[in-house]
C-alpha cells in the first residue's frame, strides 16, 4: 500500500511538513516494495487551490493514506470521497525516516 507523506525537504532527514497543500515535497512510500518517490510540490507557491491540486497529485500516485500535520476543510471532503485515510501528526520535529520507521514497524508485528 502506498502512503503519501508531506515533507519540508527532499531527503530522509528532513522534517514532516505540517501543511498539506503547500508542503515542500510529497513522499510516496510503498510499504510493500519499500520504494519511495520524492515529488516536489508544484503548488507550493500557489495563491489559491493548492489543497485540491495536491490531492489530485497524491491520488494520481495511488496513495491510500496521507500523513501530514493539518488538512483544510476543502481537502478533507475530497479525501473522504476518494476513500483515502488521513493521518494527522502534530509533531513538526518528526523526521521522514522516523515516520517510515513507524510504518515499517507495523509490518513486522
Partner 1 sequence: MFTIFVLNICSLFMSPRPSRLRKISNPPVISGFRPYGNKNIKGKVEAVFLHFEEYEALRLCDYEMLNHHQASVLMNVSRPTLTRIYARARQKIAEALVKGSQISIEGGKIYFDSEWFLCSSCGCYFNNPEKQVEIKECPLCKSTSFSVYAENNNNEEEEEEEEEEE
- Cell numbers 525516516 correspond to 97
Write down the least CB distance from residue 47 to partner 1, Å. Answer: 27
In the set 91, 93, 95, 97, which binds partner 1 (CB under 8 A)? Answer: 91
Report the distance separating Cα 8 and Cα 34, nearest Å.
Answer: 21
Report yes or no: 55 and 78 within 8 Å, Cβ to Cβ: yes
Query: Does 90 participate in binding partner 1 (rule CB under 8 A)?
Result: yes
Residue 19: phi and psi, rounded to 5, are -100, 145
Query: Does 23 participate in binding partner 1 (rule CB under 8 A)?
Result: no
Stretch that binds partner 1, among 6-14, 34-42, 51-59, 89-97 (CB under 8 A): 89-97
Which CB contacts under 8 angstroms, 24+ apart, belong to 73-78? 75/20, 75/21, 75/51, 78/52
Stretch that binds partner 1, among 20-28, 35-43, 44-52, 95-103 (CB under 8 A): 95-103
Query: Does 99 participate in binding partner 1 (rule CB under 8 A)?
Result: yes
- Cβ closest to partner 1, residue 46 vs residue 59: 59
Query: Does 85 participate in binding partner 1 (rule CB under 8 A)?
Result: yes
Report the distance separating Cα 108 and Cα 103, nearest Å.
Answer: 10
Amino acid at each position: 500500500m502506498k502512503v503519501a507523506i508531506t515533507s519540508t525537504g527532499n531527503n530522509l532527514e528532513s522534517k514532516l511538513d505540517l501543511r498539506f497543500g503547500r508542503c515542500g515535497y510529497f513522499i510516496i512510500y510503498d510499504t510493500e516494495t519499500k520504494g519511495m518517490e520524492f515529488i516536489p510540490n508544484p503548488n507550493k507557491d500557489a495563491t489559491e487551490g493548492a489543497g485540491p491540486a495536491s490531492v489530485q497529485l497524491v491520488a494520481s500516485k495511488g496513495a491510500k493514506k496521507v500523513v501530514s500535520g493539518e488538512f483544510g476543510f476543502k481537502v478533507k471532503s475530497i479525501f473522504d470521497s476518494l476513500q483515502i485515510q488521513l493521518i494527522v501528526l502534530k509533531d513538526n520535529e518528526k523526521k521522514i525516516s522516523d515516520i517510515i520507521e513507524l510504518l515499517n514497524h507495523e509490518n513486522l508485528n
